[in-house]
Amino acid sequence: MKQVQVNATPFASLTPDSLLDALESVGLSPDGRLLALNSYENRVYQVFMDDGSPRVVKLYRAGRWSDAAILEEHTFAAELAGRELPVVAPLVLDGKTLHSHGDLRFAVFPRQSGRAPEFDSGQVLEWMGRFIGRIHAVGALKPFTCRPEINIQTFGEEPLSFLRQSGFLPQELAEVYFGVARQALDGVRNCYARAGKVASLRLHGDCHIGNVLWVEGGGPWFVDFDDARMGPAIQDLWMLLSGERADRVHQLAEVLAGYEDFYEFDSRELHLIEALRTLRLIHYAAWLGRRWDDPAFPAAFPWFVSPRYWQDRILELREQIALMDEPPLWLS
């Protein structure tokens, strides 16, 4: 298997001292206590201030987003928060939300408490749908100009091209994987064709259980808009669904009961659920490969370079090919 050459190590200049210095440079007074939070794409820490109050600082990975794209993320979150939506937006410090210290780019957020939501509750799903509908009503007002769209090219063709050139796949599995992946992308195209032209709007982009904090009596709080992109509304809904088909139909009904109080849902987008899941699977595999020069990734995902991982991905994509041929959830 080809060994990918390591470039400059991401976050090489990040140390406890450099992080504390960065926060002091924007007028904050950390007391020295740092807690690393679970994040791989960026580095995220909970930092306590001299007065005992915590803040969350996110340090952005170099080379992923331009400053303009990050500021679009911040502006969108602030726009939502300004309309009293439960969104954790970055703090404005020294008149800015995006800061730099040496080669580090960072933003500071208020700490939001909460637990993982219970998506097996119809009331929770309806509540989630209600707030996502409000987010989409705002997201539809204007497009992003510096952030890309979730589509077959960005989440399918480009990641697959990277994987083909990367040398990560075991030689004995490469031909099979790429053959199945091409069939899967053909299935994705068929799903998009059945859906027809659907609206593209500003999305959270990664609306799964790990990016929602549930507050008892207060409902959901949405965090981490780092993957905010343009795309179809269903992208922010399908990851709320799980279980057998009948379960997912019921869950979708609960979500849309709240969603459509604030934003009209185009039922043609139901054709895209399994297509978007397929694109996410391909994109995720390429994401791991693209981040392999970061020491945190081989340590956290050692199975990525094992034959078993790619065998499982082949089976997964074959399952997706079959699922994309099934009727959409509400049309069965």
Same domain, 261 and 131: yes
Answer whether residue 117 is part of any domain.
no
- When pLDDT is cut at 50, 70 and 90, the band that residue 6 belongs to is very low
d(CA 195, CA 271): 6
Q: Catalytic residue, from 186, 206, 247, 261: name it.
A: 206
Query: Going by C-beta distance under 8 Å and a sequence separation of 6 or more, which residues neighbour residue 224?
Result: 206, 211
Answer whether residue 292 is part of any domain.
yes
pLDDT of residue 172: 96
CATH number for 162: 1.10.510.10
Residue 4 has pLDDT above 80, yes or no: no
d(CA 156, CA 160): 6
Same domain, 200 and 79: no
Rounded to whole angstroms, the maximal C-alpha distance in the chain is 59
Last residue of a domain, one of 110, 140, 164: 110
Domain that holds residue 131: 122-331
- When pLDDT is cut at 50, 70 and 90, the band that residue 327 belongs to is very high
What share of the chain in percent tops pLDDT 90?
92
Answer whether residue 40 is part of any domain.
yes
pLDDT of residue 9: 79
Task: Report pLDDT digits (tens) over 248-271.
Answer: 999 999 999 999 999 999 999 999
Evaluate whether 57 touches 107 at the Cβ level (below 8 Å): yes
What is the mean pLDDT of the segment spanning 130-151?
98
pLDDT of residue 40: 92
Nearest partner of 119 among 286, 248, 3, 246, judged by Cα: 248
What is the mean pLDDT of the segment spanning 168-194?
97
pLDDT of residue 332: 53
What is the mean pLDDT of the segment spanning 111-133?
94
Query: Per-residue DSSP letters for 239-307?
Result: GG--SSHHHHHHHHHHHHHHHTTTS---GGGGGGHHHHHHHHHHHHHHHHHHTTTSTHHHHH-GGGGSH
pLDDT of residue 285: 98
Answer whether residue 256 is part of any domain.
yes
Backbone angles phi, psi at 265, to 5 degrees: -100, 130
Task: Report pLDDT digits (tens) over 288-309.
Answer: 999 999 999 999 999 999 999 9
- 206 as an active site residue: the answer is yes
pLDDT of residue 3: 36
Residue 172: in which H helix or E strand, if any? helix 171-195
Same domain, 222 and 274: yes
For residue 186, the tally of other CB atoms under 10 A from its CB is 12
Query: Going by C-beta distance under 8 Å and a sequence separation of 6 or more, which residues neighbour residue 215?
Result: 113, 114, 221
Q: Catalytic residue, from 31, 50, 103, 224: name it.
A: 224
d(CA 57, CA 111): 9
Same domain, 127 and 76: no
Global pTM reads 0.94
Same domain, 170 and 61: no
Domain count, the chain: 2
Same domain, 32 and 143: no
Residue 206 has pLDDT above 60, yes or no: yes
CATH number for 80: 3.30.200.70
pLDDT of residue 8: 61
- 293 as an active site residue: the answer is no
Answer whether residue 239 is part of any domain.
yes
Same domain, 179 and 313: yes
Evaluate whether 108 touches 27 at the Cβ level (below 8 Å): no
d(CA 141, CA 145): 13
Same domain, 106 and 127: no
Type of residue at 295 = P
**How many helices (DSSP H) and strands (DSSP E) are in the chain?**
10, 9
Same domain, 50 and 25: yes
Residue 67: helix, strand or coil by DSSP?
helix
Same domain, 28 and 53: yes
Same domain, 205 and 82: no
Last residue of a domain, one of 81, 110, 139: 110
Answer whether residue 9 is part of any domain.
no
Answer whether residue 70 is part of any domain.
yes
What is the mean pLDDT of the segment spanning 310-315?
98
Residue tagged 């922010």 (tokens): 236
Residue 331 has pLDDT above 60, yes or no: no
Average pLDDT over the chain, rounded to an integer: 94
Q: What HEC string does 132-162 produce?
A: HHHHHHHHCCCCCCCCCECCHHHHHHHHHHH
pLDDT of residue 218: 87
Last residue of a domain, one of 83, 110, 137: 110
Same domain, 143 and 272: yes
Answer whether residue 48 is part of any domain.
yes
